[in-house]
Amino acid sequence: MKTIYLDNNATTAIAPDVLNEMLLYLREFYGNPSSMHTFGGQLHRKVEEARAKVAALINAKPEEIIFTSCGTESDNTAIMSAVESFPQKRHIITTRVEHPAVFNFCKHLARKGRRVTFIPVDNFGRLNMEAFRKALDDDVAVVSIMYANNETGVIFPIEDIGGILRERNIVFHTDAVQAAGKIPIDVKKLPVDMLSISGHKLHAPKGVGALYVRKGTRFYPYIIGGHQEKGRRAGTENVASIIALGKACELAKKHIEEEASYLSDLRDKLESALLKCCPDVRINGDTEHRLPNTTNISFDFVEGEAILLRLDEYGICASSGSACTSGSLEPSHVLRAMGVPFTAIHGSIRFSLSRYNTEEEISEVIKIMPPIIKELRTLSPYGKEKL
């Protein structure tokens, strides 16, 4: 059975060109870039080439990129750096819909005595700008607000938020793990101080990420040890994966516009067919400002997990809520924050596409979904009269 992989916000396939490029550095050139000898030392240049490619994706300077082990590390590092750099400031501002890499880290800091404000969103997942403005005070060490939501794809107005924070000289971090490589990002124009990227969301392998730190931003390392990354992140470099991340960013930059339009066409085709397939179906999130590859759809009166299991029988991979929360039946904190009704949260499915999805695959899903929903509604105690 062929797999139809529509769970690309959870992780992506490594691009063949990316894999080809990295294999050499696993098989043959396994040296340490800090070594004095040529065998290791020559890798230093390869790491710097990769840094330049990651920087180019977001129009940063290479020296503003720090390699990390994942998006979570980038997020934790950015927030902790600001907290350590401004110890007298006790207030952190974030949102109610962040990925756990920010959300749970901020909760952890709250337990350690920081004051944390979680800004609410409206029914479309849009940030409550009034609440955000009101939360600002002289005690804020850092504001961390995601670029695009992993569950709904909703894009926040990062430029406006950053503009407000610039006026008040407040450090601004954005988790761009889902946005980087999918939509153009230009940090020369964007008023952000730190920005997180993760390799496995843009066709590089798992276990590598990057943190952009604008030149002049106070920075305090999170992982302390050797001199790597100019003392900003200790630990021997994951050379092969760093090279892979560089290649993946190069490919993403090259094709970003055409890929976005290809993906949004496919996504819209899927979405409009599913909306028509049966009653009580809704899209969660602001469809105007959204990642091109993501749709979050609720089928009222059906369990999302039941839909996933049925799709799985056909080799179709999707997700209910975020990958990190599935496996437990906790309803998604993102959809709850948006005030999505209970019955709709439980029937929510996220389809997230990539450049490797085809028109045929989407047609297949469009064919398979309606009978699944019908069948599950017949079984559901709430669904019988909602066929």
What is the smallest separation between the CB atom of 381 and ligand PLP, expressed in angstroms? 33
Q: Does 180 bind ligand PLP (CB under 6 A)?
A: no
* Residue of the chain from 8, 77, 95, 198 that contacts ligand PLP (CB under 6 A): 198
What is the smallest separation between the CB atom of 177 and ligand PLP, expressed in angstroms? 4
Q: Does 177 bind ligand PLP (CB under 6 A)?
A: yes
Per-residue H/E/C for 235-279: CCCCHHHHHHHHHHHHHHHHHHHHHHHHHHHHHHHHHHHHHHHCC
What is the smallest separation between the CB atom of 249 and ligand PLP, expressed in angstroms? 14
What is the smallest separation between the CB atom of 368 and ligand PLP, expressed in angstroms? 26
Residue 132: other Cβ atoms inside 10 A: 22
What is the smallest separation between the CB atom of 197 and ligand PLP, expressed in angstroms? 9
* Residue of the chain from 15, 25, 71, 306 that contacts ligand PLP (CB under 6 A): 71
**Nearest C-alpha neighbor of 139 from the set 94, 193, 82, 88:** 88
DSSP 53: H
User: Which span (15-23, 51-59, 175-183, 329-337) binds ligand PLP, by CB under 6 A?
Assistant: 175-183
Judged by CB, which is closer to ligand PLP: 308, or 368?
Answer: 308
The C-alpha atoms of residue 4 and residue 321 are separated, in whole angstroms, by 18
Residue 218: other Cβ atoms inside 10 A: 12
* Residue of the chain from 178, 319, 320, 326 that contacts ligand PLP (CB under 6 A): 178
Q: Lay out the site mask for ligand PLP across 353-382 (x = CB under 6 A, - = otherwise).
A: ------------------------------
Judged by CB, which is closer to ligand PLP: 178, or 372?
Answer: 178
Q: Determine phi and psi for 383, rounding to 5 degrees.
A: -95, -15
Token pair 């940063």 in the structure block, residue: 60
Pair of tokens at residue 355: 């450049």
317 is catalytic: no
Parallel, antiparallel or unpaired: strands 281-283 and 294-299: antiparallel
Dihedral, 56, 58, 61, 62 alpha carbons, nearest 10: -60
Parallel, antiparallel or unpaired: strands 172-175 and 194-198: parallel
Q: Lay out the site mask for ligand PLP across 202-231 (x = CB under 6 A, - = otherwise).
A: -------x----------------------
Token pair 């200790």 in the structure block, residue: 234
Q: Determine phi and psi for 121, rounding to 5 degrees.
A: -125, 165
Measured at CB, which residue is nearest to ligand PLP?
A: 71
- Spot the catalytic one: 106, 249, 278, 324: 324
Judged by CB, which is closer to ligand PLP: 89, or 96?
Answer: 96
* Residues annotated catalytic, as ranges: 324
- List contacts with ligand PLP (CB under 6 A): 70-72, 75, 99, 101, 146, 150, 175, 177-178, 198, 200, 209
